[in-house]
Amino acid sequence: MRWVGRSLLSVVPVVVGVVLCVFFLIRIVPGDPAAMILGDQATQASIDALHEQLGLDLPLGTQLWNWLVGVFTRGDIGTSLITSQPVAGLVWSRAGITAGLVLLAVGFTVLLAVPLALLAATHAGSWLDQLVRVVPTIGMAMPAFWVGLLLILVFGVNLHWLPVGGVGTGPGEPLRSLVLPAFTVALGMSPPLVRSLREQLLEVLDADFVVTLRAARLPRWRVNSHVLRNAAVPTVSLLGLNIAYLIGGTLVIEKVFAINGLGALLFSSISSRDFPVVQGIALVLALVVVVVSLLTEALVALLDPRIRAA
Amino acid sequence: MTFRTAAARAVAVLVAVSALAACTASPGPSATSSSTGPQKGGTIVYGRSAAVTSFDLNNEITANNAFAIDKVFEPLVSFDTEGKIIPWLAEKYTVSPDLLTYTFDLRPDLEFSDGTPVTAADARFSLERHLKVQGPLPLEAPIRSIVATATHTLTITLKSPYTPFLSELSGFSNGIFPADFGGRTEKDFFAKPIGTGPWVVQAWDPNGDTTFTANPHYWQEGKPYAASLIYKVVSDDTQRIQQLQAGQLAGIEDVAPASLEQLQGNSEVSVAKLGSWAVEQVFFNTRNAHFADRHVRRAVAYAIDREGITKATTFGAAQTVHTLIPPTIQYSADVQALDNDPAAAQRELAASAYPDGFSATLMINSGDSARAQEAQIIQAALKPLHIDVKIEPLELNSFRERFKAFQYDFMINSGQSDAPDPDGLITFQADPDGFSHSFWTHYTNPQVTKLMRQGRTTADGPQREQIYARIQQILADDVPYIPLYNPDNVVASEASVHGLSPRINGSVLFQDVWVQQ
Amino acid sequence: MTGTATRTVPRPGVRWLRRALRNPTLIAGAVIMLVVLALAVFSPTPYDPFAQDLDHGLAPPSPAHWFGTDQLGRDILSRVVAATRTDLRIAVLAAVVPFVVGVAVGLVSGYAGGWLDWIVGRVVDTFVAFPFYVLVIVVVFAAGTGERGIYVAYALVGWISYARVIRAKTRSLCRQGWVEAAYGGGLSHTRVVGRHLLPNVLPQAVVLLMTEILLIMVAVVTLGYLGLGVQPPTPDWGTMISDGQLFLTTKWWVSTLPGLAVVTTGVGLSLLGDGLADVWRLR
């Protein structure tokens, strides 16, 4: 329980830090949202009027305070300057797609990384091991958008097996639409995990307790599951970190595959200087990342009792 | 196996995948010709680059909204594929001999999409609201009065002759809507608009897709053919094309010319082109020290090979132009233009205040591959003149901010007319006192301004033609901007979709489109 | 040691070299990177990478142009080679500040422990939770497209990868006890960190550096795709890939060949990093 309290203590400054940074950062960019909303014909008077209406004429500190108050008292993370829709609603409608993409990508990553790492570790030194070590290297060197483009061409345009982009409606369609983007992400995310897991497996496979387990004639899969459990710890941490980076970085994949998730919304709201939307999304993303970090730590503690005791 | 072999193998796999991807799409079944004619029903899913953010027709100017607004609201008159004015909601119209009184006879059986009959009072309300609101595309005509002289007759009187009047009225921003917004508040009305147009808004996400259903009360018999129309937002050019080819979209707008070859080679897709009202130009900030000098601008114009630029960047989807008014707009003239003459360029520069050259920054909006190529061609073309060009790509909103504040040297941008009459384009680009300040070049020439005013009040005919010919020649001599090419509007559609072709303004008449079931 | 009394024990440097030469990963990586480096430094372009030829745009690979020409008739092979210099330079330059800052922060934080370590940990967490592309986009919008944005963005967030790893390594070294002994023996903090800890964490940092350069290179290429990258007409792999996107199926050489250059360089960096890690017994 103390651990939970300590974790929360670590979490709060992180979220606050991200939110503050984004708040000031987005206002560095040149460009006045009021001028953009009113368009070409805007006179200075009408721009000033809109500033007042939207609260953009208040000093920065006041704007920040008002926003924070709104968040904590009403759970209101702001209203879009451009469309006047509540940010929470906007985020909610897009979050599902991005969440689906992230989850599916993580799933593919695990499905790719674990068997490959096991294969390499159990055949250490052979050509199979070398192959498994080299191919992911290529995955890391290929920009995700390039991989995505190629996959679209092969599987979408030429073979017509999977949708090339967008998120379809209808039974099973959203899932089908996310397969290629999630796979693209997994190809980029799995190499470091394969490497890390393989290393850990090699270390563990050499360890004393494994010899003991094998000598006790435990079935191969049970030995392997023990091995995996022990080897997984650093890799799980690494996975958690990568998921954190992924959550903030779906932007490019969403653009390549025309998915209107949070990443795409983030990009478009920065482009249109829609401050509240940018702030709102950053807040939500920071919270999710923090939750993921906590879950990762919990999972690690679960896997390795030594950490729990610490 | 050593790493080198493994790596080589992997690279080979990579190349193989790329080669596989490079194979053209397998030819599908050829489009069956319909023997029965247009079929009713079905849904058209149309891919567009941006979402619809507003249906308030009097306050909008951008294409993403205009081409949704024109599905719901229609104007009194319209234009055909050649830009000629044709009757639309008004089945007949007359102009008095003194050019001051316009009488419009509305179609008698015209109804709004909720079934209420359309009267001249509605038309009057709509136009008066536009006059009150002004907006980015205001009614410039000097209107004295708008009167509903009969249930279906509207009489508009002008204070002075204004030849572009009918052309203005054909614009989407002059659509007709119910008087008093049908009893609702303005805000409510534009959240769920009612008009005479072929489509009714069923669902609308200002950040995403818009769904229309067919208007059962539409005045064109039997149309629209399809039951519903969905405007799907796919902002990435490549994605739109890929989704069309994969069958996820029935049609797409804004087809990038670079992809034409790929699409034309695909038998499951058909491409339709029509000339547009846009002109790609290089604009000079005439307040900039270097470009205030007429000789410098003329030198740059001589140095550029317009035909070369068009060939390299537009893939057959544009025509080179030498004058501001494109061939698709009335009174486009053959001018003596300064084009592709390096020797003349040297002479002009030598006659200027900067004979040894100078540095300048060419501003473009980032993310536009064609413009980036154009900029690089221009940069290379100016090198022999010792004009050192630095290219500055800016994100779109920053780009707009900069040129509207006159913080640029010269830029590549596109001039667009919203109407078939040349007056709109000329005013936007040559009137220093208008809000656009001569398309932000601040070009000021009293002679052009005088001719501009004359053009507005002279009736169509050889005299008016003369006026615009003179304006164009002066602009070609002074080159405050260098017209490069007139791009086509290009749309593409799946084989099962018939009748999808662009209008000159880039919109599509979806009531004429039908889907093979 | 199983050697006989008469066998001489080679000096550590030679031992290292022998190990290095026996490691295929390191050899492969080093060879690739040497070629890439040579291309970047000497830039042996058969044609002027800026020379346009509007009448012969988009020509397929041929004896005259091994990689074909791009839209403006420029030789793609020359541009790919020239881009090697641009992209490698940007990636290496952008990696320097994060390397220095990250290692320093990691060392200090791991050595000092306590509340300083806790604060640094929270700052690191904040940056992890910060959407990276938001930062880059904002910086690029504010500072203009091109290299500046990348340098600033990476200087701001790139250091955390090093900080985390070096901090962990420092802490594990500190737990070994000899660090305390050194300090207890009279060495100042600076000497302990600078002369004793630093050389021990440096190998790990250098291996990480290879990966980071790779990631920066990929990020530069991705920014080019987003239209926020290196300004034209400077050749850059990302912009070349992005420019050729629209004719990927009809004129494949425009996008694919720069893409292969990216992958090859990336593989080289990766192999080099892995090889070094092998040789330094880090894995």
Q: How many CB pairs under 8 A join A and C?
A: 134
Contact yes or no for A275/A34 (Cβ under 8 A): no
B485, B322 in Cβ contact below 8 A?
no
Comparing C-alpha atoms, which of B18, B218, B184, B32 is closest to residue B114?
B218
DSSP assignment of chain C equals: ----TTSPPPPHHHHHHHHHHH-HHHHHHHHHHHHHHHHHHH---SS-TT---GGGTTPPP-SS-TT-B-TTS-BHHHHHHHHHHHHHHHHHHHHHHHHHHHHHHHHHHHHH-HHHHHHHHHHHHHHHHS-HHHHHHHHHHHH-SSHHHHHHHHHHHTHHHHHHHHHHHHHHHHHTSHHHHHHHTT--HHHIIIIIIHHHHHHHHHHHHHHHHHHHHHHHHHHHHTT-SSPTTS--HHHHHHHHGGGTTTSTHHHHHHHHHHHHHHHHHHHHHHHHHHHTT--
Taking CB atoms and an 8 Å limit, are C131 and A267 in contact across chains?
no
Q: How far is B2 from chain C (nearest CA, A)?
A: 7
User: Cα distance from A40 to chain B (closest Cα, Å)?
Assistant: 7
Q: How far is CA A296 from CA A235, A238, C234, in A?
A: 10, 9, 44
CA–CA distance, B287 with B278 (Å, rounded to integer):
25
Average pLDDT, chain C: 84
pLDDT exceeds cutoff 60 at B27 = no
Q: What is the ipTM of this complex?
A: 0.80
pLDDT in tens, B17-26: 444 444 434 3
Per the structure block, which two tokens stand in for B48?
A: 């567009």
Which run of H or E residues covers position B233?
A: strand B228-233
Mark out the alpha helices in chain A (DSSP H runs): 2-26, 33-38, 44-54, 60-69, 87-122, 127-141, 144-151, 173-205, 208-215, 220-248, 251-256, 262-271, 275-303, 305-309
Average pLDDT, integer, range B459-468: 94
* Nearest CB to C72 within list B256, B312, B392: B312
Q: How many Cα atoms sit within 13 Å of B249 on the Cβ side? A: 32
Instruction: Please judge whether B3 and C271 are an interchain contact, meaning their C-beta atoms are less than 8 angstroms apart.
Output: yes
Q: Going edge to edge, which strands form the sheet with B90-95?
A: B90-95, B101-106, B153-158, B143-150
- The DSSP annotation for A14-31 comes to HHHHHHHHHHHHHTTSS-
Whole-number Cα distances in Å, A245 to A173, A249, A292, B2: 27, 6, 11, 34
The predicted structure's pLDDT at residue B6: 40
- pLDDT score of B404 more than 80: yes
What does each C-alpha distance from B443 to B402, B416, B429 come to in angstroms?
Answer: 17, 18, 8
Structural contact between residues B440 and B403, judged by C-beta atoms closer than 8 angstroms: yes
- What is the b/e burial string over B153-171, where b = at least 16 CB atoms within 10 angstroms of the residue's CB? bbbbebeebbbbbbbbbbb
Q: What angle do CA B366, B340, B441 make, to 5 degrees?
A: 50
C216 touches chain A (CB under 8 A): no
Q: What is the pLDDT at residue B286?
A: 95
Q: Using CA atoms, how far apart are residues B104 and B364, in angstroms rounded to an integer? A: 44
| Strand-pair category, B101-106 with B514-515 | unpaired
Q: Taken in order B469, B470, B473, B479, is the CA torsion positive or negative? A: negative
Nearest CA in chain A to B439: A40
pLDDT at A294: 82
CA distance B384 to chain C (A): 13
* Alpha-carbon distance values, A61 to A21, A86, B329 (Å): 13, 22, 53
The residue ranges of chain C whose pLDDT is under 70 are 1-13, 144-145, 281-283
Helix (H, G, I), strand (E, B) or coil at A252: helix
CB contact under 8 A, C248 and B380: no
The pLDDT mean for chain B works out to: 89
Rg (CA), chain C: 23
The helix/strand/coil state of B413 is strand
Which 8-state DSSP code applies to residue A81? T
The reply to whether residue B21 touches residue A36, judged by beta carbons under 8 angstroms, is no
Highest averaged pLDDT of the listed ranges A20-24, A235-239, C212-216 = C212-216
pLDDT digits (tens, 9 = 90+) for A137-159: 788 888 888 888 888 888 877 77
Q: What percent of chain B has pLDDT over 90?
A: 74
Query: In this model, does residue A225 exceed pLDDT 90?
Result: no
Q: Is the peptide bond before B136 cis (omega within 30 degrees of 0)?
A: no
Q: Look at residue B331 and tell me whether its pLDDT is greater than 70.
A: yes
At A308 the pLDDT is 56
Confidence tier at B2 by pLDDT (50, 70, 90): very low
Counting one residue from chain A and one from chain B, the pairs whose CB atoms sit within 8 A come to 116
Peptide bond into B224 cis (omega under 30): yes
Tokens of A121: 């570790």
Please give the DSSP secondary-structure letter assigned to residue B88: S
Q: What is the pLDDT of residue B21?
A: 43
| Residues in contact with C217: Cβ distance below 8 Å, sequence separation at least 6, in sequence order | C87, C88, C90, C91, C262, C265, C266, C269
Task: Report the residue from B62, B401, B404 with minimal CB separation from A30.
Answer: B401
CA B60 vs. chain centroid, Å, equals 14
Mean pLDDT for A6-33 is: 79
CA B404 to each of CA B411, B440, C143: distance values in angstroms, whole numbers, following the listed order:
12, 6, 19
Task: Answer whether C245 touches A (CB < 8 Å).
Answer: yes
Angle at B182 between CA B180 and CA B185, to 5 degrees: 70
**Neighbour-count burial of A239, counting CB atoms closer than 10 A to its CB (0-12 exposed, 13-18 middle, 19+ buried):** buried
Q: Inter-chain contact A289–C128, Cβ cutoff 8 Å? A: yes
- The region that residue C186 occupies, defined by phi over 0 for left and psi between -120 and 50 for alpha, beta otherwise, is left
pLDDT at position B15: 46
Residue B14 has pLDDT above 80, yes or no: no
**Average pLDDT of the segment spanning B297-312:** 95
Three-class SS of residue B106? strand
The tens digit of pLDDT for each residue in C157-209 reads: 889 888 888 888 888 888 777 777 777 777 777 777 788 888 888 888 888 89
- CA-to-CA distance for B493 and B343, rounded, in angstroms? 47
Measured CA to CA, the distance from residue B59 to residue B193 in angstroms comes to 14
Give the rounded distance of the alpha carbon of B506 from its chain centre: 6
> What is the pLDDT confidence band of residue B36, given thresholds at 50, 70 and 90?
low
Å between A218 CA and nearest CA of chain B: 34
* DSSP codes joined into one string, A149-163: HHHIIIIIIIS-SS-
Strand partners for B387: B358
Q: Of B102-111, B245-254, C14-23, which has the strongest mean pLDDT?
A: B102-111
A40 pLDDT band (50/70/90 cuts)? low
Q: Kindly tell me the sign of the dihedral angle through the C-alpha atoms of B116, B121, B124, B129.
A: negative
Q: Residue A250 pLDDT more than 80? A: yes
Q: In this predicted structure, what is the pLDDT of residue B4?
A: 44
pLDDT at B11 > cutoff 90: no
Pick from A90, A156, A255: CB nearest B207 = A90
State the CB neighbour count (10 A cutoff) for residue A130.
Answer: 20
Buried b / exposed e across B81-94, counting CB within 10 Å, b at 16+?
eebebeebbbeebe
**Average of pLDDT values for B327-335?**
93
C-alpha distances in Å from residue C88, one per residue of C33, C39, C237: 11, 10, 10
Q: Given this model, what pLDDT does residue C122 score?
A: 84
Query: What per-residue confidence (pLDDT) applies to C3?
Result: 47
Q: Which chains touch B (3 or more CB pairs under 8 A)?
A: A, C
Q: Which residue has the higher pLDDT, A208 or B91?
A: B91
What was the pLDDT predicted at A108? 94
Between the alpha carbon of residue C80 and those of residues A302, B371, C192, the distances in Å are 50, 21, 46
- Coil vs helix vs strand at B232: strand
CB of B389 within 8 A of CB of A23? no
Q: Any bridge partners for residue B493, and if so which?
A: B251, B270
Number of other CB atoms surrounding residue B149 within 10 Å: 11
Tell me the C-alpha distance between B131 and B65, whole Å. Answer: 20
Torsion of CA B84, B89, B91, B92, to 10 degrees: -70
Interface of C with B in 237-276 (CB under 8 A): 239, 242-243, 245-250, 252, 256, 259-260, 263-264, 267, 271
Closest C-alpha to B68, from B515, B508, B490, B502 = B508
Q: Does A46 touch chain B (CB under 8 A)?
A: no
Measured between CB atoms, does C175 come within 8 Å of chain A? no
For residue A83, the 8-state DSSP code is T
A162 touches chain C (CB under 8 A): no
User: Nearest-CA distance from A14 to chain C in Å?
Assistant: 5
Chain A: give the shortest CA distance to residue C125, in Å: 6
